[in-house]
């Protein structure tokens, strides 16, 4: 055990302040300290992506980031992506296209997909498969996940194109 550090960060818009050891992992902070249990632990080696959250605008595997590294950061988890009364189009699309089975990867999968669609609002199938390669699903074989993301992108673009003309196209970052 070593000395505790004072950490402040914001999760889903809410400010949090606590003392934690330097070795405390961000996923532990979220799940055990803040009771945010949407992100899951699958591998603890940043391969599976079940713990994916957004930290300051980037997809992050929270099982391999220390809480101290998130000092001052703004974090979004699945709990901050939609509400029961107003689901994110991805949440609707995953339900509609059977993009999940056991549900364990789903929070990380949707959180990553939301970021992917921000980075690239109209991805090709290949770009989706590449951009989602850091998130493992053991149940679906990905076919319906890809379909869900395509459907959500189409839905988001059709509701956006009514208000704005050009849809920005950025290069998709590879998930690791």
Partner 1 sequence: MKDEITRDERIDNLKGMGCSRKRVEDARFTQGKGNYVDDVKLDGMLFGDFVRSPYAHARITNIDSAAALEVPGVLAVLTAKDLEPLGLHWMPTLAGDKQMVLADGKVLFQGQEVAFVVAEDRYAAADGIEAVEVDYEELPVIVDPFESLKSDVILREDTVDENGRPTDGAHGPRNHPNHIFTWEAGDKAPTEEVLANAEIVAEESMYYHRTHPCPLETCGCVASMDKVNGKLTLWGTFQAPHAIRTIVSLISGIEEHNIRVISPDIGGGFGNKVGAYPGYVCSVVASIVTGKPVKWIEDRMDNLMTTAFARDYWMKGKISATKEGKITGLHCHVTADHGGFDACADPTKFPAGFMNICTGSYDIPTAYLAVDGVYTNKAPGGVSYRCSFRVTEAVYFIERMIEVLAIKLNMDAAELRRINFIKKEQFPYKAALGWEYDSGDYHTAWDKALKTVDYEGLRAEQAQRVEDFKAGKTRKLMGIGLSFFTEIVGAGPVKNCDILGLGMFDSCEIRIHPTGSAIARLGTISQGQGHATTFAQILASEIGLPADSITIEEGDTDTAPYGLGTYGSRSTPVAGAATAMAGRKIRAKAQMIAAYLLEVHDNDVEFDVDRFVVKGAPERFKTMKEVAFAAYNQAIPGIEPGLEAVSYYDPPNMTYPFGAYVCVMDIDVDTGVPDIRRFYALDDCGTRINPMIIEGQVHGGLTEALAVALGQEIAYDDMGNCKTGTLMDFFLPTAWEVPNYETDYTVTPSPHHPIGAKGVGESPHVGGVPCFSNAVQDAFRAFGNTHTNMPHDHWRIWKTANELGLHD
Of the candidates 79, 117, 120, 153, which one interacts with partner 1 according to CB under 8 A? 79
Question: Cβ of residue 146: shortest distance to partner 1, in angstroms?
Answer: 7
**Quick one: residue 35, left, alpha or beta (phi over 0 = left, psi -120 to 50 = alpha)?**
left
Of the candidates 16, 18, 64, 82, which one interacts with partner 1 according to CB under 8 A? 82
98 sits near partner 1 (criterion: CB under 8 A): yes
CA 82 to chain centre: 12
Backbone angles phi, psi at 10, to 5 degrees: -120, 125
Question: Segment near partner 1 (CB under 8 A), from 37-45, 54-62, 65-73, 150-158?
Answer: 37-45
105 sits near partner 1 (criterion: CB under 8 A): yes
Distance between CA atoms of 98 and 145, rounded to whole angstroms?
Answer: 8
171 sits near partner 1 (criterion: CB under 8 A): no
**Quick one: residue 46, left, alpha or beta (phi over 0 = left, psi -120 to 50 = alpha)?**
left
- 16 forms beta bridges with 9
Binding stretches for partner 1 (CB under 8 A): 1, 21, 23-24, 28, 31-32, 35-45, 47-48, 50, 77-79, 82, 84, 87, 91, 94-96, 98, 100-107, 110, 128-130, 132-146
């Amino acid at each position: 055990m070593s000395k505790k550090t004072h950490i402040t960060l914001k999760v889903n818009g809410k400010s949090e302040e606590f003392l934690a050891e330097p070795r405390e992992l961000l996923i532990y902070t979220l799940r055990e300290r803040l009771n945010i249990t949407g992100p899951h632990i699958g591998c603890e080696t940043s391969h599976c992506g079940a713990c994916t959250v957004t930290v300051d605008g980037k997809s992050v595997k929270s099982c391999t980031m220390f809480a101290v590294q998130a000092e001052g950061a703004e974090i979004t988890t699945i709990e901050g992506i939609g509400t029961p009364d107003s689901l994110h189009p991805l949440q609707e699309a995953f339900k509609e296209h059977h993009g999940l089975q056991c549900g364990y990867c789903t929070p990380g999968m949707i959180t990553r997909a939301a970021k992917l669609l921000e980075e690239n609002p109209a991805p090709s199938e290949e770009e989706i498969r590449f951009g989602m390669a850091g998130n493992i699903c053991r149940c679906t074989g990905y076919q319906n996940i890809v379909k869900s993301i395509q459907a959500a992108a189409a839905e988001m673009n059709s509701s956006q194109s009514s208000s704005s003309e050009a849809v920005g196209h950025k290069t998709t970052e590879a998930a690791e």
